[in-house]
């Protein structure tokens, strides 16, 4: 009986290993795929572009979610197209999701519509992890209003998933300060976008400010800020955020360009991507 059983067990083991190897090879041979304007909600604005790398697996392929700027009232995911190409080249082990979201008109889609859209988009992505063959190691990257939305999701929520890191390019962190200490954007415009003033709806301003949700459990954060930014103050927006991250013991890095404004190009942009690449390599594993 044992003489019969032993070859059967050996055969079964070899068959299992063969199937496992073939499955692994199938994953390694997955081609790169791009899906444009994938709907994550019912509104026409709730679309994303999806870039899946070749050879992706649920164990190794990290995820970057990109959120464009435009004062929550303008802009488009296509604004990030050039940076998508840069990330694909520099971070070939990342899948990229480039989001659109509902834009505030002053009468419709006021706060917290954009916050809710980011959360809905993340829920969509999390539900697609197995189908897309990607991991649950998610990084949020945003610029300006998109930086605000990335930080708000990363600090305020641990659902639908706790993100691994957040990348902020000159995003507002304190909506009360943005209203009360205006630079180029007048308070009336802030109130129109938000849908209220701090006096008429203080809770909305409090709940919409990423700095209010920083805790010891917040994900590693890298912040890029220009010292001559005419829209987001390095002194009253960025500095208090970094101070709170440090107070809470959160891994963080401030990359400060004293003479840059609200965005930059050339050598400093290359430097930003270099530092971003190193930060992700150190903190998203």
Express each pLDDT in 123-160 by its tens digit: 999 999 999 999 999 999 999 999 999 999 999 999 99
Asked, as a colleague might, if the bond just before 248 is cis with ω within 30 of 0, I would say no
Token pair belonging to 39: 């709907």
Q: Which residue has the higher pLDDT, 8 or 263?
A: 263
Q: What is the pLDDT of residue 29?
A: 84
Average pLDDT of 79-96? Answer: 97
CA angle, 54 then 77 then 159, to 5° = 75
Q: In what order do the strands lie in the sheet with 62-67?
A: 33-39, 47-52, 94-99, 62-67, 138-143, 165-169, 221-226, 252-257
Per-residue confidence band for 13, with pLDDT thresholds at 50, 70 and 90: very low
Say yes or no to pLDDT of 277 above 60. Answer: yes
Q: Which residues of 267-284 are buried (b: 16+ CB within 10 A; e: fewer)?
A: eebeebeeebeebbeebb
Lowest pLDDT segment from 7-11, 39-43, 203-207, 229-233: 7-11
- pLDDT value of residue 28: 55
Calculate mean pLDDT across residues 100-108: 97
pTM: 0.90
**For residues 184 and 109, what is the distance between their CA atoms, to the nearest angstrom?**
23
Provide the pLDDT for residue 30: 96
β-sheet bridge partners, residue 224: 169, 255
The per-residue pLDDT of the chain, averaged, comes to: 92
Q: Which residue has the tokens 């103050």?
A: 233
User: Per-residue pLDDT tens for 218-244?
Assistant: 999 999 999 999 999 999 999 999 999
Q: What is the pLDDT of residue 206?
A: 98
d(CA 49, CA 52): 10
Is 278 a residue whose pLDDT tops 70?
A: yes
Question: First and final CA of the chain: distance in angstroms?
Answer: 49
Instruction: Look at residue 26 in the predicted model and tell me its pLDDT.
Output: 47
Please write the tens of the pLDDT for every residue from 18-66. Answer: 444 444 444 558 999 999 999 999 999 999 999 999 999 999 999 999 9
- State the Cα torsion 100-255-278-97 to the nearest 10°: 0
């Amino acid at each position: 009986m044992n003489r019969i059983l032993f070859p059967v067990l050996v055969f079964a083991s070899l068959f299992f290993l063969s199937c496992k190897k073939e499955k692994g090879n199938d994953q390694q041979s997955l081609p790169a795929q791009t899906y444009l304007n994938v709907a994550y909600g019912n509104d026409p604005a709730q679309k994303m572009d999806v870039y899946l790398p070749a050879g992706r697996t649920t164990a190794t392929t990290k995820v970057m979610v990109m959120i464009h700027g435009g004062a929550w009232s303008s802009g488009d995911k296509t604004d990030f197209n050039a940076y998508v190409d840069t990330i694909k080249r520099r971070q070939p082990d990342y899948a990229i999701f480039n989001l659109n979201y509902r834009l505030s008109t002053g009468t419709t889609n006021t706060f917290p519509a954009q916050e809710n859209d980011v959360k809905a988009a993340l829920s969509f992505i999390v539900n697609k992890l197995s189908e897309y063959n990607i991991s649950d190691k998610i990084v949020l990257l945003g610029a300006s209003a998109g930086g605000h939305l990335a930080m708000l999701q990363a600090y305020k929520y641990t659902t639908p998933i706790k993100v691994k890191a957040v990348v902020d390019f000159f995003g507002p962190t304190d909506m009360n300060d943005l209203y009360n200490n205006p630079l180029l954007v007048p308070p009336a415009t802030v109130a129109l976008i938000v849908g209220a003033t701090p006096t008429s709806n203080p809770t909305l301003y409090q709940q919409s400010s990423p700095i209010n949700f920083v805790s010891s459990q917040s994900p590693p954060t890298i912040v890029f800020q220009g010292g001559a930014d005419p829209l987001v103050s390095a002194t009253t927006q960025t500095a208090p955020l970094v101070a709170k991250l440090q107070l809470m013991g959160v891994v963080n890095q401030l990359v400060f360009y004293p003479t840059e404004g609200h965005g930059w190009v050339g050598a400093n942009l290359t430097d930003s991507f270099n530092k971003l690449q190193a930060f992700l390599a150190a903190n998203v594993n």
